[in-house]
Amino acid sequence: MKKRLISVLSMLLAIVLLAACGKSATPNASNSTAGAGTGNGQAKTYKVAYIARAQSDSFAAWLANAVKEEAKKYPNITLDVFDGEANDEKENSMIENAITNKYNLVIVQPNNGEAQRPYVEKVVKAGIFAITTNARISGIEGASSVDANPYEQAGVNARAAIEQIPQNAKVVVLKGPSGNFHADERRASWQKEFFDKRPDVKIVGEQIANWNKDEAMKYMEDWVQANDKIDAVISMNDNMAAGAIEVVKDNAKFKDMLVYGVDGTAEALLLIQEGKMTSTCMQSAYDLATKLLDTSNKLLTGAEKQIDTDIGNPLVNKENVQQYIDVLKKAGAIK
């Protein structure tokens, strides 16, 4: 009788234990189907490809590094960075490879927006999240964007230059790649906000230097030989502006030359501090990276379906440059 009672009690205990196990398994199963887990209790991770325009471009390199650092804050995201080397075919091939390798999300920093447009459209059609940045490619249904306002980036410089550039000045203009949204919008802004209002100013040289410092130096060398005086360099980015400054750094005839850029790179901030550059517009790679990873996370986890957002466009000049230098020092970008 005693043995029989022990046997019954053992069976009842086993039933209770099985019921308890069944209840504890239910939440895990629910989380897995919701996409928050992998089915074994671990958080789901997502593969993100970041395709940079060109690591040789100082701003593009800064942005790529900022994206890498920001991605470390997201344990659910695995980031791979690729260098498009300022080559449309190479960048387009990298986008196609990202589709083939089944990345969950692809971030594209276009070399030439219209050249990359059909390939970003392929990303969306493949059911993969797409974000375009610096510069955005507008009008792709289903794609998101994180960018700045390039018209206003140039505009803050151009409006200041109205009072700074002397009467009957001779100026040169360094442009970014034709067809690039930022390059075209910045040049349009300078036209409307400055040149249309200052018909006395003469453009004695204007060339596409493709955001590249070396190309800008070559054009500046030609312009210096052809002109006894250049009152201002109007550049669509800091990298080209720095190239122009390098050419005339030891030439006393150009010591009062005004120089304008966009990006707020470490080099540009130091040139402003030294009095060799007039102003730039801060296009913070850190702010872009923060928004890029936040946007990626929201899309991947289903919090949002599409996001289009911009960062600010503050003017940086000798009056406020130190605060921006301090930010880059804190981040390790300036020693």
What pLDDT score was predicted for residue 17? 34
Fold assignment, 150-281: Rossmann fold (3.40.50)
Condensed to tens digits (0 to 9), the pLDDT of residues 291-318 reads 999 999 999 999 999 999 999 999 999 9
What pLDDT score was predicted for residue 28? 26
- Give me the residue spans of the domains in the chain: 46-146+285-304, 150-281
What pLDDT score was predicted for residue 42? 62
Condensed to tens digits (0 to 9), the pLDDT of residues 138-173 reads 999 999 999 999 999 999 999 999 999 999 999 999
pLDDT average per 10 residues of sequence, the chain (335 residues):
39 37 30 35 86 90 96 98 96 98 97 94 98 95 97 98 98 94 96 98 98 97 96 98 97 95 97 98 96 98 97 97 94 87
What pLDDT score was predicted for residue 20? 38
pTM across the whole model: 0.81
HEC letters along the chain: CHHHHHHHHHHHHHHHHHHHHHHHHHHHHHHHHCCCECCCCCECCEEEEEEECCCCCHHHHHHHHHHHHHHCCCCCEEEEEEECCCCHHHHHHHHHHHHHCCCCEEEECCCCHHHHHHHHHHHHHCCCEEEEECCCCCCCCCCEEEECCHHHHHHHHHHHHHHHCCCCCEEEEEECCCCCHHHHHHHHHHHHHHHCCCCCCEEEEEEECCCCHHHHHHHHHHHHHHCCCCCEEEECCHHHHHHHHHHHCCCHHHCCCEEECCECCHHHHHHHHCCCCCEEEECCHHHHHHHHHHHHHHHHCCCCCCCEEECCCCEECCCCHHHHHHHHHHHCCCC
150-281 matches 46-146+285-304 in CATH topology: yes
CATH 3.40.50.2300 fits 46-146+285-304, yes or no: yes
